[in-house]
Structure 1
Amino acid sequence: MQIEILDTTLRDGEQTSGVSFAVQEKLSIARLLLEELKVDRIEIASARVSEGEFEAVKRVCDWAAKRGHAEKVEILGFIDGGISVEWIKKAGGKVINLLCKGSLKHCEQQLRKTPFQHIEDIKKVINQAIANKLSVNIYLEDWSNGMSQSPEYVYSLIETLHTEPIKRFMLPDTLGVLNPYQTFEFCRDMVKKYPGLHFDFHAHNDYDLAVANVFSAVKAGVKGIHCTINGLGERAGNAPLSSVLAVLHDQLNIHTHIAENKVNQVSRVVESYSGIRIPANKPVIGEHVFTQCAGVHADGDSKNNLYFNELLPERFGRTREYALGKTSGKANIRKNLEALGIELDEESMKKVTERIIALGDKKEVVTQDDLPYIISDVLKHNDKEQPIRILNYSLSLAQGLRPVAVIKMEIHGIQYEETAIGDGQYDAFMKALRKIYKVHLKQPFPMLTNYMVDIPPGGRTDAFVQTIITWNHNGHTFKTRGLDADQTEAAIQATLKMLNQISMNNF
């Protein structure tokens, strides 16, 4: 038996709080998913989100068409009288995943329509999609609650739509409320009533049961499973592809097209682009899951692998002793990017190379682990048209004395200088900066709501530091990041990006 895998990292995964992929990052992830990892299908976006999203979708669809992957790229659309259909067609999409209501409560209370009215609306959009040469799959949103609270509605919906030109019926546990027993029962009922239809299952992890529910859905006979890289997704996330893959292959003896040995590579790239760190103990892809620490285990490993199971690290592109090859020098940058499965256009490559050369003055070694962090920092920050610049700053730290910061900066062509004392070097810097904005400019200053320091795995003392800061300004919450060998400098870079982002976007 073979199961289809749809990866929705670029759509549902991007709904993770604080995650937003740049266009080049979306292209890179799409290539990794389809050509390296060999997933069957990818869901890349929701229609009508923004102009920026339209450009990203268009770029991915153009690339996919050139590589023969057009039918593997899917986009979420809505019951909106055909607006989503036009949006997807204009972007170059070939497949619409149509979001319908899978529970009576959602149909009547959110749409304020009768089931008959909703079904008629669905049919109209299906006809419009087919007329525009789009393949159609449908999501039954809130299907899990529909099966619990209004199964007759769900069955009537399928009964009416099963003769329509719908390729797949997708069954989401939208709120992550199912347990494995319910999942098996509900999926089995769907498969038994409609054995000729293709059903996908889409799990959420609110009760930490997403992978277990996937197990049950496949046992019940569904033909497709939805996952995300590293379990990214709204709230507690979606079913992580790495764990689902291991369960399907080892526990259920199910075949997929996935290239297991690329799992770790893709997970690390997505970790860097998303800014969401993989827990060290996360199965299959966690930093420590293939590291044996206890002496008795090490002894058993040397005696006929007494402490091994089927989850051998080599299957997933890893080793028992966690290590990644190192490289240094600008001459090998492209070679190491290729080893990580990352492709960049010439302009992006030029920017990354320049950034690495600049960072090389501060750090002797640039490793493969560092590269995705550098790339993400470069692609998400445009050095052009920066109306706010830091001209000079001095930070002093002496035993027994509070740190002092002196900064000189240029804001829209006018120079300002201030000094402040703080509880730390960065705190002193921020207090001096606030003085400039509040005293000289008479402007409100954003609130720092979260401060996260991140380094590539490996625990090296010479690692680059990625500082990710969350800000709130006039009710708008956003993140900026800085990358440097020095933590304070990384934080200052992130702060400068924040000021320019506010200035250029006027929020």
Structure 2
Amino acid sequence: MTKIKIYDTTLRDGTQSEEINLSVQDKIRITRKLDDLGIHYVEGGWPGSNATDKEFFQEISNYELKNCKISAFGSTHMNRMKPEEDPNLAALIKSGAKVMSIFGKTWDFHATSALGVTLERNIELISNSIAYLRPHVDELFFDAEHFFDGFKANPEFTLSCLKAAHEAGADVLILCDTNGGSMPDYVAEACKTVLEKIPGCNIGIHAHNDCELAVANSLAAVKAGAVQIQGTMNGYGERCGNANLCSIIPNLELKLGYETIGKQNLGNLKIASTYITEIANLRPFLRQPFVGAAAFAHKGGVHVSAVLKDSKSYEHIDPLLVGNNRRVLLSDLSGKSNILYKAKQYGYDLDKNDPAVQTILAEIKERESIGFEYSAAEASFELLFFKAMGWSKRYFEFINFFVVDAKRKEDKEPFSEATVIVKVHGQENHTAASGDGPVNALDTALRKALEPFYPALKSVRLQDFKVRVLSGAVRQANGTSSNVRLLIESTDGKNQWTTMGVSNNIIEASWQALVDSINYKLFKDDPQKWPTSR
């Protein structure tokens, strides 16, 4: 089985995404996670360009890594300097990295216009830089910047650049689709030409995603003979991002018969993807192939019925192979199969003719007709399900709430205050709280009333808050109005859950979602929560 080396550049190319800024410790954590995943190379950054990357190489030397080698990135030496005088090359050597990647111009337009050198001098810069670094490293890669554009414009010059790098000692020639505009057929053809024209060389691929083809181009390069793929986790990177390793790795392992990180590590792919998303402080991409939460989610009743019989009817792989899970969503498209599947998750092996199944299905369809979306708020659905199955415990009783917003000065933020009255264990509790906006004030007042009775609620906090205005719906003959759907994501530090409220009043929708969130926490912690199974 052919082995393809995976070179991760999340810590450098990934951080060029406008949304990402990683500290040294963030980079250390990501490196260790990638090491656990079995990635072969992790590019730590450009030590000659900034203090953070320089510090990373100092810090990572204190860690013992099992699988990955740390690579340093830099450029060919400056035109008016000799290699031994160049501070960029000196910084690469000082980093202590035993793997290095340096990039050089391979498009004649860039050499003459951007760099301002003759084509002959550009080739010398490449050759001199690699020859100078060669004795200092175990492995040395040449990133041929704008290779595919250069090969199209002036193939003779571009191939001369690669040949110079190869003869100077580069272990792998990395063909870069820097502008992300190449097509897979052209990538494959260009890769084959390089291997033919430069006997004995090894090639890799570094693709950007400007045409949504970075993964396809990377796979095409491998089929044409590339032995290394460079990319980022979750496809992070400048502009439209880089080739997504979370798609490339399983495609190579499961579809094309190549070995990368090994199938034993493939099951940790989703965990690594999610972990890096959290470190980058980004929301996960729901529909990301293989590792996204929706990658193996089924909503239509016909689909779910088929998946229950044989999952391959609507799944191209077993989700467990990449560490993901099958999910069945609830909506007005749901059939009985969706309810039966969810029931089994909750410990109930229901018959499709059980009256509770039809009751739940009818309630979902009715609620979704006014804007509820249970596929996005599974905690709210779980409460609905158990109520249908006989759970009737009430942790508190609503009496009253009052919310006020007041703006007293033009240049000041409005003032929000909420008053809540609830009854717990027969005792009425009246609390008030101010907050950053009416929903925060309402949440604070409600929890202030409940925490003396349920101390576990002190660990609960709102993690995310989304409001969507739904299309206008005729309510009565007196006109139309729009409902709002409000989603609240909550966490207790260990688990997270999403609840929902719908109303033409945003405060009421917020209240519904807040109440569901608190009830869900209390329900999950309640040792007496489970009604008798059917």
**Smaller-chain TM-score bracket:** 0.5 to 0.7
The letter for the 1-side match of 2:327 is E
Q: Secondary structure at the match of 2:298?
A: coil
Q: Deviations over 1:33-76 (max 9, x none)?
A: 12x2101111110132222221112212342xx44668x21111
Report what 1:379 is aligned to. Answer: none
Give the AA of the match of 2:98: K
- Measured against aligned partners, the alpha-carbon deviations of 1:399-422 in whole angstroms (never above 9, x if no partner) come to 5643569xxxxxxxxxxxx99343
Equivalent of residue 73 in structure 2, options 76, 87, 101: 76
TM-score (norm 1): 0.64
Residue equivalent to 1:45? 45
For 1:90 and 1:283, locate their aligned partners in 2 and report how far apart those are by CA, in whole Å. Answer: 40
Residue of structure 2 equivalent to 1:272: 278
Match of 1:316 among 297, 307, 322: 322
- Is 1:116 aligned to residue 120 of structure 2? yes
In the other structure, the counterpart of 2:101 is 97
Deviation of the 1:146 alpha carbon: 0.4
- State the Cα deviation string for residues 232-257 of structure 1 (Å, max 9, x = none): 01000011111112221233222212
Alignment of 1:325-344 (within 5 A): none
Residue number among 134, 144, 147 corresponding to 1:130 in the alignment: 134
Change beyond 3 A, Cα 1:139–1:455: farther
The one-letter code matched in structure 1 to 2:47 is: A
Q: Which whole-Å CA distance do the structure 2 matches of 1:58 and 1:126 have between them?
A: 23
1:191/1:222 contact within 8 Å kept: no
1:420 and 2:412 equivalent? yes
Report the Cα distance in structure 2 between the residues aligned to 1:91 and 1:69, rounded to whole angstroms. Answer: 20
Contact 1:455–1:464 (CA under 8 A) maintained in structure 2: no
1:275-297, Cα deviation, whole Å (9 max, x unpaired): 23222111111111112111111
Contact 2:126–2:164 under 8 Å retained in 1: no
- After superposition, give the CA deviation of every residue in 1:378-417 in whole Å (9 maximum; x if it has no partner): xxxxxxxxxxxxxxxxxxx975643569xxxxxxxxxxxx
Residue 219, structure 1, aligned to residue 261, structure 2: no
Task: Tell me the residue number matched to 2:248.
Answer: 244
CA distance in 2, matches of 1:225, 1:124: 25
Residue 11 of structure 1 is matched in structure 2 by 12
| Structure 1 residue 194 displacement after superposition | 2.5
* Paired amino acid for 1:75: A
Radius of gyration: which is bigger? 2
Name whichever of 265-274 and 303-312 sits farther off. Answer: 303-312
Q: Distance in 1 between matches of 2:171 and 2:73?
A: 14
Instruction: Give the structure 2 partner of residue 30 of structure 1.
Output: 31
**Structure 1 SS opposite 2:268:** helix
Q: How far, CA to CA, are the matches of 1:278 and 1:128 in structure 2?
A: 43
The one-letter amino acid paired with 1:3 is I
Partner of 2:189: 185
Equivalent residue letter for 2:43: E
**TM-score normalized by the length of structure 2:** 0.61
Distance in 1 between the 2:253 and 2:66 partners? 27
Residue 294 of structure 2: aligned partner: 288
- State the alpha-carbon separation in 2 of the partners of residues 195 and 62 from structure 1: 40
Q: Distance in 1 between the 2:21 and 2:249 partners?
A: 25
Task: Write the distance in 2 (CA, Å) between the matches of 1:215 and 1:455.
Answer: 39
Which letter maps to 1:129?
L
Give the AA of the match of 2:140. Answer: V
| C-alpha distance after superposition, 1:140-179 (max 9, x if no partner) | 1111110111111111222333222111111110010101
C-alpha distance in structure 1 between counterparts of 2:139 and 2:404, whole Å: 70
3-state SS of the aligned residue for 1:175? coil
Shift of 1:212: 1.2
Q: Is the 8 A contact 1:95 1:135 kept in 2?
A: yes
Aligned residue pair count: 351
Distance in 2 separating the partners of 1:455 and 1:102: 48
The residue that corresponds to 1:463 in the other structure is: 491
CA contact (8 A) 2:146 2:179 kept: yes
Q: Is this contact kept in 2: 1:7–1:229, CA < 8 A?
A: yes
Residue equivalent to 2:370: none
Distance 2:488 2:405 in 1: 30
Looking at structure 2, the residues matched to 305 and 133 of structure 1 have their Cα atoms a distance apart, in angstroms, of 49
Aligned to 1:490: none
Aligned-pair distance for 1:265?
A: 0.7
Change (3 A) 1:4 1:421: closer
Indicate the SS of the match to 1:213. Answer: helix
Cα RMSD (Å) of the superposition?
A: 2.9
Cα distance change on mapping 1:427 and 1:128 into 2, 3 Å: farther
Cross-structure match for 2:334: none
Q: Which runs of 5+ in 1 are unaligned?
A: 324-396, 406-417, 429-452, 466-485, 487-507
Q: Deviations over 1:211-266 (max 9, x none)?
A: 11112111211111112111001000011111112221233222212421111111
CA contact (8 A) 2:111 2:122 kept: yes
Cα distance, 1:423–1:186 mapped onto 2, change above 3 Å: farther
- Distance in 1 between the 2:119 and 2:270 partners? 45
Query: Take 1:245 and 1:455, find their aligned partners in 2: how far apart are those partners?
Result: 34
Classify the secondary structure of the residue corresponding to 2:284.
coil
**Cα distance change on mapping 1:212 and 1:135 into 2, 3 Å:** closer
Q: Relative to 1, partners in 2 of residues 1:51 and 1:178: Cα closer, same or farther, differing over 3 Å?
A: same
**One-letter code of the match for 1:463?**
T
**One-letter amino acid of the counterpart of residue 73, structure 1:** I
Contact 1:129 1:135 in 2 (8 A): no
The answer (yes or no) to whether the contact 1:264–1:317 under 8 Å persists in 2 is yes
Q: 1:248 to 1:403 in 2, by over 3 A?
A: farther
Distance 1:297 1:318 in 2: 19
Contact 2:37 2:269 survives alignment (8 Å): yes
Q: Distance in 1 between matches of 2:278 and 2:408?
A: 33
Q: Quick one: distance in 2 between partners of 1:231 and 1:404?
A: 47
Cα 1:69/1:245, change in 2 over 3 Å = closer
Q: Deviations over 1:266-318 (max 9, x none)?
A: 11111111123222111111111112111111111222335243421101112
* Structural mapping, 1:402-441, within 5 Å: 402=406, 420-422=412-414, 426=436
Higher deviation after alignment, 286-295 or 264-273: 286-295
CA distance in 1, matches of 2:138, 2:255: 36
Q: Residue 3 of structure 2 aligns with which residue? A: 2
CA distance in 2, matches of 1:229, 1:289: 16
8 Å CA contact retained: 2:142, 2:174 = yes
Using the alignment, how far apart are the partners of 1:33 and 1:290 within structure 2? 24
Question: Match of 2:10, SS?
Answer: coil
Q: Is the 8 A contact 1:455 1:463 kept in 2?
A: no
